[in-house]
């Protein structure tokens, strides 16, 4: 089975573990291609042999999504696609290999006075994995999403071709948006090998304010009167609720807004406390559940979730909760009743339950299945990992 992969990447870059699972399937081989051409050739070989392939970057998001709809698979590791990291600060773009880790990218951008919308929640997270999983971080908002800063993509398709979409300018999309189609698709339509991302000017200053309240209702009331913040979060703590407001921008503006915010100013890096909480994997036997809706509906989400709430991002419209596995069907039903999106992250190594990790199928399910059939008719690209077993 491994011969075609050895011919493509070299025998030294193919391993055949005696045991091990990935997304609920037994791993037949671990294959480490060196570049986009080798990735595409590996996918062609997988399609010809009808062997499912699961692309893996840093492996930090394998608890997201559904289990594989297959008993065996090939683990396609993309860590060697990390040689390309070219920044053009004058144009405000960066060309990045899929295997580049987010932390080195952030450091390189900061060195030229820039920043990106990629948020490294866990060490080892890569550009390709972040695009495929499209996770929600603390800096997420309706007008600041990773997919909105993706200008172009190179993607290896199941038939062995390399497809390119978008370019190096912001307004370059006409017709069907193939760039954002792959964002959040969990590698079920193609394997991202390279991305062109927008660089934004790094803020001159940053500040964080924190206030404590007796309840979510009191915290929301205070937030409604607070100055506009670039990031907000609510966290249950010690029987009450903490309201966090993050401000970024020109130094004078940041100082003025922070001074008018409820509570006290805390070190700007305190914001990382919340990031660490969101990055911590769920405990064994539990799952982290993410509810999404309009920012105006977050109060309703908190009331419905009650004590299960762990973190709320009001500006982004998301509420996170932790729950025992037995309670997951009830939470999925709650999301459906509220008209909220639903997604869960299982504990590392946990086996999937019959519950779909994305909750009830969306209205566009027929279109999504048609796209899967068009891009991957042999169903070798992470089959079953996405919505409704796509």
Q: What are 14-61's pLDDT values in tens digits?
A: 999 988 899 999 999 999 999 999 999 999 999 999 999 999 999 999
Of 140-149, 202-211, 215-224, the range with the lowest mean pLDDT is: 140-149
- Angle of helix 298-305 relative to helix 328-338, nearest 10 degrees, comes to 150
- Per-residue pLDDT for 175 more than 50? no
- The CATH classification number of 3-80+377-389 equals 3.30.43.10
> Quick one: average pLDDT of 118-122?
86
Average pLDDT for the chain:
92
Q: Which fold has domain 205-273?
A: Alpha-Beta Plaits (3.30.70)
Contact 191, 39 (CB under 8 A): yes
| DSSP tag of 27 | E
CATH 3.30.465.10 correct for 85-201: yes
Strand partners, 207: 247
pLDDT in tens, 220-241: 999 999 999 999 999 999 999 9
Asked if domains 205-273 and 282-346 share a fold, the reply is yes
Q: Look at residue 180 in the predicted model and tell me its pLDDT.
A: 87
* 223 vs 235: CA distance, rounded Å: 13
Task: Kindly report which listed range (244-248, 261-265, 270-274) carries the lowest average pLDDT score.
Answer: 270-274
φ and ψ at 47, to 5 degrees? -65, -40
What lies within 8 Å, CB to CB, of 173 at 6+ separation is 166, 179
Q: What is the DSSP letter of 40?
A: H
Residue 164, pLDDT above cutoff 90 = yes
In degrees and rounded to multiples of 5, residue 113 shows phi and psi of 75, 25
pLDDT of residue 203: 94
Would you state the pLDDT for residue 168? 67
285 pLDDT tier (thresholds 50, 70, 90): confident
Give, for 300, the enclosing helix (H) or strand (E).
helix 298-305
Q: How confident is the model at residue 141 (pLDDT cuts 50, 70, 90)?
A: confident
Cβ atoms < 10 Å from Cβ of 20: 12
Q: Is the pLDDT of residue 146 over 90?
A: no
pTM for the whole structure? 0.92
pLDDT on residue 308: 87
Collect all residues with Cβ–Cβ distance below 8 Å to 289 and sequence separation of at least 6. Answer: 308, 320, 321, 322, 323, 328, 331, 342, 343, 344
- The domain locations on the chain are 3-80+377-389, 85-201, 205-273, 282-346
pLDDT at residue 120 in the model: 83
What is the distance between the alpha carbons of residues 243 and 233, in angstroms, rounded to a whole number?
A: 6
Q: Is the pLDDT of residue 115 over 80?
A: yes
Query: How many percent of the chain have pLDDT more than 70?
Result: 96
pLDDT at position 172 over 80: no
Q: What is the pLDDT of residue 90?
A: 94
- Residue in the block written with tokens 């053009």: 88
- Give the confidence band of 328 by pLDDT, cuts at 50, 70, 90: very high
Query: What's the Cα-to-Cα distance from 120 to each of 51, 52, 126, 134, rounded to whole Å?
Result: 31, 28, 8, 12
Which position has the higher pLDDT, 173 or 323? 323
Owner of token pair 């695009």: 131
Structure tokens at 20: 């091990």
**What's the pLDDT at 174?**
46
Q: Closest Cα partner for 157 from 388, 372, 1? A: 372
The answer on pLDDT for 142 being more than 90 is: no
**How many angstroms separate the CA atoms of 17 and 14, rounded?**
10
Classify 316 as helix, strand or coil. coil
Domain spanning 282-346: which CATH class is it, in words?
A: alpha beta
Q: How far is CA 181 from CA 132, 133, 189, 191, 272, in A?
A: 10, 12, 9, 12, 31
User: Quick one: pLDDT at residue 140?
Assistant: 80
Residue whose C-alpha is closest to residue 27's, from 64, 71, 89, 87:
71
């Amino acid at each position: 089975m491994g011969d075609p992969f050895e011919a493509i990447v070299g025998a030294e870059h193919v391993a055949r573990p005696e045991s091990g699972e990935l997304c609920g399937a037994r791993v037949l081989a671990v294959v480490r291609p060196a570049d986009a051409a080798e990735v595409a050739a590996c996918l062609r070989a997988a399609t010809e042999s009808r062997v499912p392939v699961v692309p893996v970057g840093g492996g930090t998001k394998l608890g997201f999504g559904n289990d594989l709809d297959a008993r065996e698979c090939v683990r396609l590791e993309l860590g060697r696609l990390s040689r390309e990291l070219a920044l053009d600060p004058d144009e405000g773009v960066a060309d990045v290999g899929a295997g580049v880790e987010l932390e080195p990218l952030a450091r390189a951008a900061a060195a030229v006075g820039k920043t990106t919308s990629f948020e490294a929640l866990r060490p080892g997270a890569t550009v390709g994995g972040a695009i495929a999983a499209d996770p929600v971080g603390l800096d997420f908002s309706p007008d600041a999403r990773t997919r909105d800063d993706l200008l172009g993509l190179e993607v290896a398709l199941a038939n062995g071709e390399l497809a390119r979409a978008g370019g190096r300018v912001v307004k370059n999309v006409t017709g069907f948006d193939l760039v954002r189609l792959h964002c959040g698709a969990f590698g079920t339509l193609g394997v991202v090998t390279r991305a062109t991302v927008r660089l934004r000017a790094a803020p001159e200053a940053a500040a964080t304010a924190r206030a404590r309240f007796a309840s979510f209702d009191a915290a929301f009331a205070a937030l409604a009167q607070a100055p506009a913040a670039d990031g907000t979060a609510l966290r249950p703590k010690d029987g009450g609720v903490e309201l966090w407001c993050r401000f970024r921008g020109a130094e004078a503006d940041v100082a003025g807004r922070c001074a008018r915010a409820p509570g006290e100013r805390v070190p700007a890096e305190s914001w990382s406390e919340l990031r660490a909480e969101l990055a911590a994997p769920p405990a064994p036997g539990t799952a982290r559940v993410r509810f999404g809706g309009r920012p105006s509906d977050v109060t309703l989400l908190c009331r419905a979730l009650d004590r299960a709430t762990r973190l709320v991002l009001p500006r982004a419209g998301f509420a996170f909760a932790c729950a025992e596995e037995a309670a997951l069907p009830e939470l999925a039903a709650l999301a459906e009743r509220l008209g909220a999106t639903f997604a869960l992250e299982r504990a590392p190594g946990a086996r999937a339950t019959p519950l779909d990790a994305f909750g009830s199928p969306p209205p566009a399910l027929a279109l999504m299945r048609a796209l899967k059939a068009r891009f991957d008719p042999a169903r070798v690209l992470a089959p079953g990992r996405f919505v409704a077993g796509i």
